Chains A and B, each alone.
Chain A
Amino acid sequence: MTNKEKFLQLVSGEDTKTLAEVRKRIKNRAMLRESQQIALKVLMKLDDLGWSQKDLAKEMGVSPQQITKIVSGKENLTIETQIKLQNILDIPVLASYYENKMTEMDQWVLNIERRVEKLAVQSIHISNNYQESKIVRLESVNYSKENFQLQAV
């Protein structure tokens, strides 16, 4: 009997754990890719905000260990966790992020249109009364998004 044969008789099995993990990753690749994308968005946003994972854990009301799992990109995240991440960090995780942003944007555009319409009416009024008015003072208009949200017509 060769040394190799002796060795093989003694080996009770393969290190199946490693290969099993490899096969599990291959099987779950689509889910893992989504999880990894979320993890990276979270990590990059934390860097931008200067937050630690502990800060995020506190904001989300979960343990720091849970955040470690999230940023490893190996977790099958629940919808609830995804919504929390999306709302707290203002990062796109679910389709609702873009839908909400679009609704917000539509409202913003609508407010601008109304404001412009109002200014046009005012302008006609001013023009009609030009002879009687010696000085016409136009208020400067701030077109920032916040201004329109605050002064929604």
Chain B
Amino acid sequence: MKIVRTFADQLFAFHFDGEKMNELPRLLTLWNDTEYLHEFVTSNKLDVPQNVPIRTLVFQLIDNANDIDEALNEISKDSERSLEEFFKPLDNQEYHIVELSKQKGRKNFLRLFAIKIDNNCFVITGGAIKFHHLNKDRTHTQKEMQKINSCRDYLKDNNVFDADSFYEFLNEQQ
């Protein structure tokens, strides 16, 4: 695995071995793919909100993906804005500063998972479509939790504890 920069010195993403793209474009591509979304919704019928037609749900997911596009575009263009407004701690009970905090960027049913390196500095580890269930209750979200944990371990193993050590680690990767 390697880490790539998406914009400025704020947003980075893991690029896993065997994947054509790093996690951010990989997920955005999937979430804008009608066939993928239709397949996902029909094969996860148990989690789908009741009485909502498949068509409506697919377009809700597309709208959520559009919202993520908008948020990233706005933040990337406006130096006054920060990724801090998009990412929140994955653990809703996390009220104190946590080293390499696990984060989620949420737009309704879509989640981008990331690790916070420093203020306004995040590295994306993956993402998921999450209806009304807990992350631990479905295979696809369980996998994402494993990914974020292994990415966190990877950073720790490479002595990344804060922004400076993270950039030092990236320098070593060059």
A residues adjacent to B (C-beta < 8 A):
2-4, 6-8, 10-11, 14-15, 17-19, 21-23, 25-26, 29, 32-33, 36, 39-40, 43-44, 47, 68, 71-74
Interface residues of B in 22-58 (CB under 8 A from A): 22, 24-25, 28-29, 32-36, 38, 42, 54-55, 58
A selection of 18 A-B contacts at a CB cut-off of 8 Å is A6-B167, A6-B171, A8-B9, A11-B5, A14-B8, A18-B6, A18-B25, A19-B72, A19-B76, A22-B28, A25-B66, A26-B70, A32-B32, A36-B34, A44-B38, A44-B54, A73-B34, A73-B35
- Asked whether, in the complex, the Cβ of A3 is within 8 Å of the Cβ of B171, the reply is yes
Contact A15-B164, Cβ < 8 Å, known A7-B171, A22-B69: no
- Asked whether, in the complex, the Cβ of B4 is within 8 Å of the Cβ of A15, the reply is yes
Interface string of B98-132 (1 = CB under 8 A from A): 00000000000000000000000000000000000
CB distance from B36 to the nearest CB of A (A): 8
Give the residues in chain A near B36, CB-CB below 8 Å: 72
- Asked whether, in the complex, the Cβ of B164 is within 8 Å of the Cβ of A2, the reply is yes
In the assembly, what is the distance between CA of A93 and CA of B162, in Å? 54
